[in-house]
Structure 1
Amino acid sequence: MLHGYLPAILGGLQSTVSVAGTSLVIACVFGMIGAAAKLSSARTPRVVAETYTTIIRGVPDLVLMLLIFYGGQIAINEVADYYGWGYIDIDPFIAGTMTMGFIYGAFLTETFRGAIMAIPRGQIEAGQAFGLTRCEVLRRITLPQMVRHALPGFTNSWLVMLKASALVSIIGLDDMVHRANLASAATRKPFTFYATIALIYLALTTISILALRWVESRYSHGVRKVEFR
């Protein structure tokens, strides 16, 4: 049915998962920095973080990816030309993961900020009263509860990011979508290959939901659930 292209498409699955996973790590870094900046008592970090999240969440992902990829390529080569380094071709994997990490870091900024704010202030003060250092309070009180509060929003961001990894094909990355494009052009049966890609993404998101639901249940162990009637 796939005219022998299935192994090639599945070969692109590794690139897709690698892009999504690496982008998630980068997004978490941006998200934690952004959340810390928004919760800072200083005005400058708050303004910078607010500007970052407002712009990123207000512009479509595809437009941002093209702007950052091509704009970054131009900026880097202008610097390289100034120093006489010659032309620098940015690797699509690096460009794609950095761009997606930067974009979804804005969404995780709000997720992490809300999770931290959901922790009762009295628990942190109680830890300090027991003589815990700031690092111990962060490790024993803040982070475990932050993870529990952040997991629903984190799950949603990961699912959207996983699906958005298909966008990296437009900057030349050899992922599943790129290979499906080549296969559909060669066989003139686009529906067959795009339907296959859709099913693979559905399988990935389903596995992700089940795995993150298990993690959420582990972090919610012993927490009383309030029922609304």
Structure 2
Amino acid sequence: MTGGSLLASTLDLLAIDPPGWGAVLLLGLWHSVLIAAGAFALGLAIGILGAYGKLYGGPVAKDLLAVYTTVVRAVPELILILILYFAVTDLVNQVLLAMGREKMQISGIAAGIIVLGVVQGAYATEVLRGAILGVPAGQIEAARAMGMPPTLLARRVTLPLMLSLALPGLANLWLIATKDTALLAVVGFAELTQATRQAASTTKAFFTFYAAAGVLYLALSILSTLVFAWLERRARRGQRPVQG
């Protein structure tokens, strides 16, 4: 096969219109981005609550959060996905049946968001806790001396100041979330990796489709890096630059 015919065959396989598989890959990429965005948002919400709980919560809350972050960070993500996707869902359905109710039906996207969100939450808790500890204590004490309530203190002082410290770690968590969506292929969800596997096994063009998937993941990572770099520059506006 000549170079021209090989290129033409590859373009035909990656075409958007059938019999090309381009639309299938792009749909899988969209599902991956959708799950990663939902999981990142859920993990960020869990992380904010977890960070404040670890720093300012009672002894019971601190112990529970310590167990949560330790277990999630110690167990591989694939094992956690299998446990949460199958075991926890089955346990909830058994409880519902015992109560005389119907089984719970969760869509693949919702299940992926919840599972990866729980994993993201443990890491986000530690990232945000470290960022909160990095906020100058003098500014927090000054706000308290002015009689600022805790919620207003968090909204106007702690959260804005910690954002620039937390963004590099949160950017890494977002990139991890985009790659962890590939693990959902083991439960049969049609994200990018599963779509790539389907296309490759059907056409036997394994190199073509796995290379295409790698390019799509790389493009997503580069775009994400640029977005987070822009957000970090905006968050650091007005701050004194760090001297090298």
Q: TM-score range by the shorter chain?
A: over 0.9
TM-score using structure 2 length: 0.88
Secondary structure in 2 matching 1:73: helix
Q: Look up the match of 1:200.
A: 216
Question: Which deviates more, 79-88 or 114-123?
Answer: 79-88
Distance 1:36 1:139 in 2: 13
Could you tell me which residue of structure 2 aligns to residue 134 of structure 1?
Answer: 150
Within the alignment, does 1:80 sit opposite 2:96 as a pair? yes
Following superposition, the deviation at residue 73 of structure 1 comes to 2.1
**C-alpha spacing 1:87/1:226, structure 2 compared with 1 (3 Å):** closer
State whether residues 20 and 165 of structure 1, in contact with CA within 8 Å, keep that contact through their aligned partners in structure 2.
yes
* Partner in structure 1 of residue 7 of structure 2: none
Deviation at 1:43, TM superposition (A): 1.1
Match of residue 191 from structure 1: 207
Percent identical across equivalent pairs? 35
Give the secondary-structure state (helix, strand or coil) at the position aligned to 1:39: helix
| Greater shift in the superposed pair: 171-180 or 96-105 | 171-180
- Tell me the equivalent position of 1:176: 192
Counterpart of 2:56 in 1: which secondary structure? coil
Contact 1:92 1:171 in 2 (8 A): no
Q: Distance in 1 between matches of 2:185 and 2:127?
A: 28
Aligned partner of 2:85: which letter?
F
Distance 2:136 2:50 in 1: 21
Query: Using a 3 Å threshold, how does the CA distance of structure 1 residues 193 and 135 change in structure 2: closer, same or farther?
Result: same
Tell me the distance in 1 between the aligned counterparts of 2:137 and 2:77: 36
C-alpha distance in structure 2 between counterparts of 1:133 and 1:49, whole Å: 24
1:41 Cα deviation from its structure 2 partner: 4.9
- In 2, distance between residues paired with 1:27 and 1:65? 15
Contact 1:177–1:197 (8 Å) recurs in 2: yes
Question: 1:31–1:105: 8 Å Cα contact kept in structure 2?
Answer: yes
Please tell me whether residue 93 in structure 1 is matched to residue 80 in structure 2. Answer: no
| Number of the residue aligned with 1:12 | 28
CA deviation profile, 1:60-86 (whole Å, cap 9, x unmatched): 101110011111221022113213334
Aligned counterparts of 2:149 and 2:56: Cα–Cα separation in 1: 19
State the match for 2:226 in structure 1. Answer: 210
Residue by residue, what CA displacement relative to the aligned partner does 1:11-70 show, whole Å, maximum 9, x if unpaired? 222211110000011101111121112102521111111111111001110111001111
Q: How many residues align?
A: 228
Counterpart residue number, 1:146: 162
TM-score by length of 1: 0.94
CA RMSD of aligned residues (A): 1.5
Residue ranges of structure 1 left out of the alignment (5+ in a row): none
CA gap 1:135/1:34 in 2 versus in 1, 3 angstroms: closer
Superposed structure 1 runs of 4+ greater than 6 Å apart: none
Equivalent positions of 1:18-167 (< 5 A) are: 18-167=34-183
CA distance in 2, matches of 1:156, 1:214: 15
